[in-house]
Amino acid sequence: MRPLFPFHGGIHPAEHKSPSTQHGIAVAPLPARLVVTLRQHSGSPASPVVAVGDQVLKGQLIGAAEGLISSSVHAPSSGRVVAIEKQPAPHVSGLPDLSIVLETDGEERWVERQKMDFCNTDPALLRQHFQDMGVVGLGGAVFPSHVKLNASGLDTLVINAAECEPFISCDDMLMRERAAEVVKGISIAQYIMGAREVLIGIEDNKPQAIAAMQAACEETGFEVVAVPTLYPSGSAKQLIKLLTGKEVTSGGHPTQMGIQCFNVATVYTMHRVINHGEPVISRLVTLTGNMDEPRNYEVLIGTPIGDLLKLARPKADTTGYLMGGPMMGVPLLDLSVPVVKATNCIIATSQALFPPLPRAMPCIRCARCAQACPAELQPQELFWFSKSRNFEKAREYKLFDCIECGCCNYVCPSHIPLVQFYRFAKSEMLAHEKDRKAADLARERHEFREFRQEREKQEKAARHAAKAAEMAAKAAETTAGSGESVAGADDAAAAKKAAIQAAIERAKAKKAAVKPQNVDDLPAEAQAKIDEIDLRRAQASETAGQRVAIQKSDEGQGA
Amino acid sequence: MLNALLVMIGLAVVLGAVLGFASLKFRVEGNPLVEKVDAILPQIQCGQCGYPGCKPYAEAISAGNSAINLCAPGGEAVMLRLADLLGVDPQPLAADAALPKPKQVALIDEQTCIGCTLCLQACPVDAIAGAAKQMHTIIASECTGCELCLPPCPVDCITMETVDEGLGGWKWKYPVYPISEEEKDTEVTS
Amino acid sequence: MENYFLILIGTVFVNNIVLAKVLGLCPFMGVSKKLEAAIGMGMATAFVLTLASGASYLINQYLLGPDLIYLRTLSFIIVIASIVQFTEMFIHKTSPVLYQVLGIYLPLITTNCAVLGIPLLNVQENHNFIESLFFGFGGAIGFALVLITFSAMRERLEGADVPLPFKGSAIAMVTAGLMSIASMGFSGLVK
């Protein structure tokens, strides 16, 4: 028996998992319309690579990843692109987001699927492949997996199958029915990261899943560890602490300690990508709560949630819907929003299941939140600082280590919505950080501009001085030939002449700079001058880059 | 009487000497305050405060020569932070500056642009790429939305566009919840 | 020895300069919005007060004597002002951050009645030189203690659901009053 290292705090909310595990996974029918948002993952949204009217095949790339922290998006079924526009998205803000709308043709024609022999492929190529195939963390955070996979020589790979939030059972059902495939996915992640040890953490309220996984893991060396049921053991940092006894440092990454953690559904999609050549176009969604037929469904990404709910038939007294679990989920304001990669569960709420909270009372400083906090923070202090917008202090008290699990809300005898305050403070701080970065960039560019202007001024002065000196030398040469007696007088005259000439040059240059330069009948000399100045300006400006410089030199040759 | 005068003069001389010595010994070069004020200003370099940029305005504030309510793009937030830093009372902003403006970037109508380079010279952060008789374009990610390129343009081809940040710019609101039964009755549950 | 200890306890807790003698209220209300500023202010005041009580003892004893009593307040103010100026320059040089945090309140130590009050009380109580130093230091520690406690409370008050008319300075005044009443519990601890 493996020793466990319990984390601090945690709570035991009512589980409500059994209703949705009475039947096996069913496949949701193909909807007539699929709405695929381009922001299926955290980081920058994908950019569309199809146009309205295009015919697409099932699994075809429709949105390409933009940058490192991003992932690709694929057509969940074959059909025609009818719109690329802002559509309602399942986001807590209720704001619409850029989406690709597909009209399905019902034929489900696949693109060419290429299986990969991962054992003989470079891990870097596999990571790139995962980004192209849209593999993201399906536990809820939807962080692009290829970024997390970027480590080697790990001590421990932790597979997060704890599924600690009440009501949700999609990972449970996945392991019961597709344990062998999950294990194949784990082997892929293990190969990429070179992990010596693989631990699969499953809460002990899922005995069937534990048994299925243990059977599938025989002769693989992977260890299935039953962990006590305690919310939030399914949070990555808490599960790592629980299984290995190592704590992820504040602001640090688990890979720094030779550990990485993946959700069980994520490794399943890795298996589908490598061994079947299928990108991430569907996921398991638990439909549960106040419903007549709660069940887990395999749902295509982009299926409107309203269509999906008809399958599980919500009861008449349903008051609303939550996406995600009751602890961390967000209320759905609009049922036309589509399923996204983060949608693990949809809960129908009712007065009986979710009785309205009593009104919030002032904080009585009981510190129960501090006892419950799995991140070992001081939630009551964070609450004070967030409430009074004292963000600097909130940062000092490690607000950014808060995992927003909601344990503090759950135990608060005053029913204060603590997590809402943390989310508010965090997003204010992030916005401020963004503004500060923009200001720093602007300052840097402004200072460089000033430096450049000063340098140009000096260069100009130096050039004129050189020209004047040259003229003076020339004049001196001619006078030296004619006789030394008049040399002194001639020298003075030549210097004067050169100075006047320089002044004329300056005036000319100034005039040319002020004049609109699209006048065509400029004297050739002035035009050359302007071209010279422009060329220098173009070279000095990094942003204009090579393009302008090349154009300018072409023009110069033409003239 | 003479004693009193002597005592006071003596005190004055001794203390004056000590202070004079200290002012030489502990002389501080430069003003570290400028950097701090500059860090608060939004660095848009728009000159709406009457100074030719954010740094000169920061210098004026640090020297006590300028009011803290002149930064229009920074709005109330910047004014309050300056008041906090300097330990002075907040001053109300001018009426038109009090409203926070959405983030804007300039956009050049490329059909109309004649390539005169006048806007290039006006841009305080070199966010316009172009050359004489070539069409110019704004590098949107570097543009601070200062509007300084608008007046010099002879053909009025530059417009300000509001940036739609969509979900990326969305922020959680300050939580508001009823704290008494009466309020709860009147407030719409949100 | 016991005498000095009693002076220290007496000035820090029993006859606290802010709560019992109600001196030095300007920085008490002004520099208590932020904990960091309060700590800096407490330290600066402790330094100035200790020096000022020592220096004013010497001046009173050896310079003024019994003849020039009428110059006492005047000369004390001059000495205090010079010490504050000196401290300001010193802090500006050594810790620009603290200088920044203290801001306008640093020169205001000059007009802090606690700083003048303590040397005058020293004279009144006929303290000797060492006693004067202890009295000044104790008074400053008492001041810093109350200032820091108060600023910690005010940081909390920012987030409290205070009725609108009481928000800000009003609730701070109420809190100061309650602190003063609470400190009366110390009376009788030292004669």
The ranges assigned to domains in chain A are 18-32+121-349, 368-427, 515-559
Judged by a CB distance cut-off of 8 A, whether residue B179 touches chain C is yes
Q: Which chains touch C (3 or more CB pairs under 8 A)?
A: A, B
**Average predicted confidence (pLDDT) for chain A:** 87
Return the pLDDT at A557. Answer: 47
Residue found under tokens 């840097």: A444
Contacts for A325 with CB less than 8 Å, ≥ 6 apart: A165, A166, A167, A168, A344, A345, A347
Q: Are B55 and B62 in contact (CB under 8 A)?
A: no
The candidate with the shortest Cα–Cα distance to A497, out of A468, A525, A517, is: A468
Q: Are A255 and A151 in contact (CB under 8 A)?
A: yes
Please give the share of chain A, as a percent, with pLDDT higher than 70: 88
CB contact under 8 A, B131 and A534: yes
Residues of B in contact with A544 (CB under 8 A): 129-131
Tell whether the model's pLDDT for residue A484 goes beyond 60: no
Least confident residue range of A230-234, A403-407, A545-549: A545-549
The candidate with the shortest Cα–Cα distance to A377, out of A355, A361, A394, A392, is: A394
Least confident residue range of A198-212, A438-452, B135-149, C95-109: C95-109
3-state SS string for C40-66 = HHHHHHHHHHHHHHHHHHHHHHHHHCC
Return the pLDDT at B171. Answer: 83
3-state SS string for chain B = CHHHHHHHHHHHHHHHHHHHHHHHHCCCCCCHHHHHHHHHCCCCCCCCCCCCCHHHHHHHHHCCCCCCCCCCCCHHHHHHHHHHHHCCCCCCCCCCCCCCCCCEEEEECCCCCCCCCHHHHHCCCCCEECCCCCCCEECCCCCCCCCCCCCCCCCCCEEEEECCCHHHHCCCCCCCCCCCHHHHHHCCCC
Domain ranges for chain B: 32-86, 102-165
Residues of C in contact with B87 (CB under 8 A): 103-105
Nearest to C89 among B7, B10, B23 (CB): B23
Cα–Cα distance measured from residue A39 to residue A55, given in angstroms and rounded to the nearest whole number: 22
Tell me the average pLDDT across A414-420: 92
CB contact under 8 A, A388 and C159: yes
Tell whether the model's pLDDT for residue B190 goes beyond 50: no
Return the pLDDT at A42. Answer: 87
Query: Considering only alpha carbons, which residue of chain B is nearest residue A363?
Result: B179
Return the pLDDT at A513. Answer: 56
Residues of B in contact with C64 (CB under 8 A): 7
CB contact under 8 A, A390 and C160: no
Q: How many domains does chain C have?
A: 1
Determine the residue among B153, B155, B167 to mutate to test chain A binding: the one whose Cβ has the most chain A Cβ atoms within 10 Å.
B167
Least confident residue range of A232-236, A297-301, A501-505, C74-78: A501-505
Return the pLDDT at C71. Answer: 87
CA distances from residue C156 to A5, A481, C19, C28, C133 in whole angstroms, order as listed:
36, 92, 20, 16, 35
Query: Does residue A153 come out as left (phi exceeding 0), alpha (psi in the -120 to 50 range) or beta?
Result: left
Cα–Cα distance measured from residue A8 to residue C47, given in angstroms and rounded to the nearest whole number: 44
Tell whether the model's pLDDT for residue B127 goes beyond 80: yes
Tell whether the model's pLDDT for residue A206 goes beyond 90: yes
Judged by a CB distance cut-off of 8 A, whether residue C131 touches chain A is no
Query: Considering only alpha carbons, which residue of chain A is nearest residue B127?
Result: A543
Confidence of residue A474 (pLDDT cuts 50, 70, 90): confident
Q: Is A557 exposed, middle or buried (0-12, 13-18, 19+ CB in 10 A)?
A: exposed
Q: Are A335 and A306 in contact (CB under 8 A)?
A: yes
Tell me the average pLDDT across B108-117: 84
Reported as type and span, the H/E element at residue A475 is: helix A418-482
Please give the share of chain A, as a percent, with pLDDT higher than 90: 61
Tell whether the model's pLDDT for residue A140 goes beyond 60: yes
Q: How far is A380 from chain C (nearest CA, A)?
A: 11
- Which structure tokens are listed for A163? 């599924």
Tell me the average pLDDT across A454-458: 92
More confident residue, B48 or A150: A150
Tell whether the model's pLDDT for residue A536 goes beyond 50: yes
Cα–Cα distance measured from residue A206 to residue A212, given in angstroms and rounded to the nearest whole number: 10
Return the pLDDT at A322. Answer: 92
Tell whether the model's pLDDT for residue A161 goes beyond 60: yes
Cα–Cα distance measured from residue A461 to residue A471, given in angstroms and rounded to the nearest whole number: 15
Least confident residue range of A59-68, A351-360, A367-376, A549-558: A549-558
More confident residue, A417 or B104: A417
Cα torsion angle, A58, A59, A63, A64, sign: negative
Return the pLDDT at A481. Answer: 58
Establish if C26 belongs to a structural domain.
yes
Confidence of residue A523 (pLDDT cuts 50, 70, 90): low
Determine the residue among B171, B187, B189 to mutate to test chain A binding: the one whose Cβ has the most chain A Cβ atoms within 10 Å.
B171
Tell whether the model's pLDDT for residue A30 goes beyond 60: yes
CB contact under 8 A, B179 and A361: yes
- Which structure tokens are listed for A453? 């202007």
**Measured in Å, how far apart are chain B's first and last C-alpha atoms?**
80
Return the pLDDT at A548. Answer: 44
Establish if C13 belongs to a structural domain.
no
What radius of gyration, in Å, describes the C-alpha atoms of chain B?
A: 26
Please give the share of chain C, as a percent, with pLDDT higher than 70: 96
Strand partners, B108: B158
- Which structure tokens are listed for A438? 């923009």
Nearest to B116 among A39, A421, A516 (CB): A516
Return the pLDDT at A237. Answer: 92
Determine the residue among B2, B3, B85 to mutate to test chain C binding: the one whose Cβ has the most chain C Cβ atoms within 10 Å.
B3
Return the pLDDT at B186. Answer: 47
**Measured in Å, how far apart are chain C's first and last C-alpha atoms?**
16
CB contact under 8 A, A424 and B174: yes
Cα–Cα distance measured from residue A302 to residue A63, given in angstroms and rounded to the nearest whole number: 13
Highest-pLDDT range among A7-21, A471-485, A539-553, B119-133: A7-21
Q: Are A201 and A243 in contact (CB under 8 A)?
A: yes
Q: Which CATH number is A18-32+121-349 given?
A: 3.40.50.11540
Buried b (16+ CB within 10 A) or exposed e, C59-76: bbeebbeeebeebbeebb
Q: Are A45 and A70 in contact (CB under 8 A)?
A: yes
How does strand A73-74 pair with strand A156-160? unpaired
Cα–Cα distance measured from residue B72 to residue B54, given in angstroms and rounded to the nearest whole number: 12
Cα–Cα distance measured from residue A329 to residue A342, given in angstroms and rounded to the nearest whole number: 11
Establish if C99 belongs to a structural domain.
yes
Return the pLDDT at A552. Answer: 47
Domain span at residue C176 reads 18-186
| DSSP-derived secondary structure letter, A18 | G
How does strand A295-300 pair with strand A61-64? unpaired
Class of domain B32-86: mainly alpha
Confidence of residue B140 (pLDDT cuts 50, 70, 90): confident
Q: How many CA atoms lie within 13 A of A223 on its CB side?
A: 16
Return the pLDDT at A425. Answer: 94
Tell whether the model's pLDDT for residue B151 goes beyond 80: yes
Cα–Cα distance measured from residue A5 to residue A242, given in angstroms and rounded to the nearest whole number: 5
Return the pLDDT at A498. Answer: 76
Tell whether the model's pLDDT for residue B22 goes beyond 70: yes
Return the pLDDT at B179. Answer: 62
- What is the DSSP annotation of C124-150? HTT--HHHHHHHHHHHHHHHHHHHHHH
Confidence of residue A59 (pLDDT cuts 50, 70, 90): very high
Q: Are A135 and A245 in contact (CB under 8 A)?
A: no
Number of H helices, E strands in chain C: 8, 0
Q: How confident is the model over A360-404, as pLDDT tens digits?
A: 888 888 999 999 999 999 999 999 999 888 888 899 999 999 999
Q: How far is B171 from chain A (nearest CA, A)?
A: 6
Cα–Cα distance measured from residue A29 to residue A42, given in angstroms and rounded to the nearest whole number: 28
Return the pLDDT at A284. Answer: 94
| Count of C-beta atoms within a 10 Å radius of residue B115 | 16
Judged by a CB distance cut-off of 8 A, whether residue C191 touches chain B is no
Class of domain B102-165: alpha beta
ipTM exceeds 0.85, yes or no: no
Least confident residue range of A91-95, A479-483, B112-116, C182-186: A479-483
Q: How confident is the model over A103-134, as pLDDT tens digits?
A: 999 888 999 998 888 888 899 999 999 999 99
